[in-house]
Chains A and B, each alone.
Chain A
Amino acid sequence: MNAFLYANAWLIITVAKVALLLFIVLTVNAYLTWFERKVVAHIQSRWGPHRVGPHGLLQPMADGLKFLFKEDPTPAGVDRFVYFLAPLLALALALTSIAIIPFGPDPLPWKILGQTIYLGILPPNVNIGILALFAITALGVYGVALAGWSSNSKYPLLGGLRSSAQMISYELALTLSVVGVLLIAGSFNLTEIINDQTSRYGILGWNIFPQFLGFICFFIAAVAETNRVPFDLPEAESELVAGFHTEYASFKFAMFFIAEYTSMITVSCLCAILFFGGWLSPFPASWTWTYYLPTVLLLPAGLWVIWDGLRYETIFGKAILPGIGAVMCILAIALVIFPGVNNFIQAPFWLLSKIFVFLFVYVWMRGTLPRLRYDQLMAFGWKMLLPVSIANVVITSFAILRWGAIK
């Protein structure tokens, strides 16, 4: 048994990492739906889910149970193979794109089964990191197009064709807006792009300052690519019934849902990595007192969760919430006591905070902006975003030619 483990160590570690990452991503997806409903509700001056568990925290569980137990009819006349393939494809591609993202620069300080464990499934020497992400995004069009076509119905077909045409159009602007970052960093490797943004002054080294136009183009194109507001006409309820996933019921609809939120997470990761320094701290490296920021954030939050949980009368509120709060407080104190752990946790902490900020911006846009009409959407993609992306590439190239690599 031991010999088997050591002989195939790399495979076993990778499978374990994939399982762990899948579990984490699916849980984050579930609570992202809770987060979105709460934030959109508060923007609209109402409460959102607050009955199912304290603060509605058990709502995703209830939704998950609903998806499992609801009837899953297959409409007549569908092309069965393609009908079942489409949500599978969308989900598989969305989840695969998380595998490419590195979550931290250093491996874990101890070796498991003789292998160094990096934070992230692919090792950091993958030289085509971001190109592989674009490849997966390019294949993501199929999930939508095939779902729309195989449903054997008018609204899904229209929604599917419109949605996939939109995704293809904005894919061009997406890939071109990143070229500026690639020119500055000189590599496709995500780890190298982040390391290229280090500077003595912390935040001033980030790619957002030379590439502000690129970031705007990338963010708008990515929002259009993931079919979110304000670009979600093809799947909006008031326009096309539900667009390409009209004929999909419980579990297959859940697969599309998870695919959409996972691609939101991937886009937030990419924004953070490409333009906002990834896991780099915004403070200069010489300010080591900022290393206590996770503790300073966790301790009051943990205490508030304990206090809030004690106000509830239900078992969940009285027992589990203070338990979660206690874990947060213990974690905060442990970070102060063990400086090694604190140093290690800085990089993932900053990356996760930036991802959280971008997810908040995504949800904020959903609650605030109206929808673009389809022809306005396509005109914007082709006539405004694509020329601006190309102009960004040209300006960046001239700047590099004139002043050497920017830094």
Chain B
Amino acid sequence: MTAPLIIFFVLATLAVGGALSLIFQKHPIHSALSLIVVMVALAGLYLLLGAEFVAAVQIIVYGGAIMVLFVFVIMLLNAGIEEHTNFSKLAGFPGLLLAFALTGFIAATIARSTDTVQAAAQPGNMVSTRDLSTMIFKDFVYPFELTSFLILVAVLGAIVLAQRETKP
């Protein structure tokens, strides 16, 4: 039981616990807080995998901007506890079963593979930001510029959509 393995299991438990809490909490703000816990746990896992820049970006963008947006919308829309509906419990059970089957299928397929994917994780192999940025700006410069355009379109769309209608 080496230290990285212990840290992996702690972070994995935190992530799965956060995801379970997302499902079982009744108030959307508690679900949002659980999702933030999942994201921070995943950032820790990225650090364990040696992707330090991605870990920092995950916390800054996902945890510090996207989830803040979610929390703001929940506060502004005054979302309350989910109401009880007459959702058919009978139909829920096959849904649960199918979701488990999907997860099991994906996990089993990958876990059973015995080729190079298995043995290659090495410790302490931090990826330098310099290499990552060289790759973005040399090989992936066209998608990079496209994503900036995408963000511009999204911002404009969000502003236009959320405006209050002005009566003429």
Q: Which residues of A does B touch, CB under 8 Å?
A: 79, 81-82, 85, 127-128, 131-132, 134-135, 137-139, 141-142, 145-146, 149, 157, 161, 164, 168, 171, 175, 188
Contact B68 A127 (CB under 8 A): no
Given contacts A82-B30, A145-B71, A145-B75, 17 further A-B contacts (CB under 8 A): A79-B29, A128-B53, A128-B56, A132-B56, A134-B60, A135-B60, A135-B63, A135-B64, A138-B59, A138-B63, A138-B64, A141-B64, A142-B71, A161-B72, A168-B68, A171-B64, A188-B129
Residues from 70 to 126 in B contacting A, C-beta threshold 8 Å: 71-72, 75-76, 126
Which of B43, B56, B65 is close to A168, meaning CB atoms less than 8 Å apart? B65
Chain B's interface: helix, strand, loop or mixed, by majority? Answer: helix
A-B contacts counted at CB < 8 A amount to: 63
Residue numbers in B under 8 Å from A145 (CB-CB): 68, 71-72, 75
Q: Select from chain B the residue with minimum beta-carbon distance to A172.
A: B65
State A142–B66 Cα separation when bound (angstroms): 12
| Bound-state Cα–Cα, A110 to B64, Å | 41
Which residues of A lie under 8 Å from residue B76 when comparing CB positions? 161
Which residues of B approach A to under 8 Å, CB–CB?
Answer: 27, 29-30, 33, 36, 43, 52-53, 55-56, 59-60, 63-65, 68, 71-72, 75-76, 126, 128-129
Give CA–CA (A233, B16) in the complex, Å: 40
Give bound CA distance, A138 to B53, whole Å.
Answer: 15
Query: Can you name 27 A-B pairs with beta carbons within 8 Å?
Result: A79-B27, A81-B30, A82-B30, A85-B33, A127-B129, A128-B52, A128-B56, A131-B53, A134-B60, A135-B56, A135-B64, A137-B64, A138-B64, A138-B65, A142-B36, A142-B68, A142-B71, A145-B68, A145-B75, A146-B33, A149-B29, A157-B75, A164-B72, A168-B65, A171-B64, A175-B60, A188-B129
Task: Give Cα A243 to B52, complex, Å.
Answer: 36
B53–A149 CB distance below 8 A: no
CB distance from A157 to the nearest CB of B (A): 7
- Cβ–Cβ contact A135 & B52, under 8 A: no
Residue contact A131 to B128, C-beta cutoff 8 Å: no
Give complex CA distance A81, B68 in Å.
18
Q: Which residues of B contact A146 (CB under 8 A)?
A: 29, 33, 71
In the complex, what residues of B have CB within 8 A of residue A142's CB?
36, 68, 71
Q: Report chain A residues within 8 Å CB of B75.
A: 145, 149, 157, 161
**Interchain CA distance A128-B54 in the complex, whole Å:** 11
Most buried by B among A137, A138, A149, A157: A138
Q: List 7 A-B pairs, minimum CB-CB distance, nearest first.
A: A138-B64, A135-B59, A131-B56, A138-B60, A128-B52, A149-B75, A135-B60
Chain B contacts of A188 at CB under 8 A?
129
Question: Complex formed: what's the CA distance from A202 to B9 in Å?
Answer: 49
Contact partners of A164 in chain B: CB under 8 A: 68, 72
Nearest B residue (CB) for A131: B56
**Is A128 touching B129 in the complex (CB atoms < 8 A)?**
yes
Separation of A231 and B129 alpha carbons in the complex (Å): 34
Q: Which residues of B contact A139 (CB under 8 A)?
A: 59, 63-64
Which B residue sits closest to A85, measured CB to CB? B33
Please give the distance in Å from B45's CB to the nearest CB on chain A. 15
B43 nearest CB neighbor, chain A only: A135
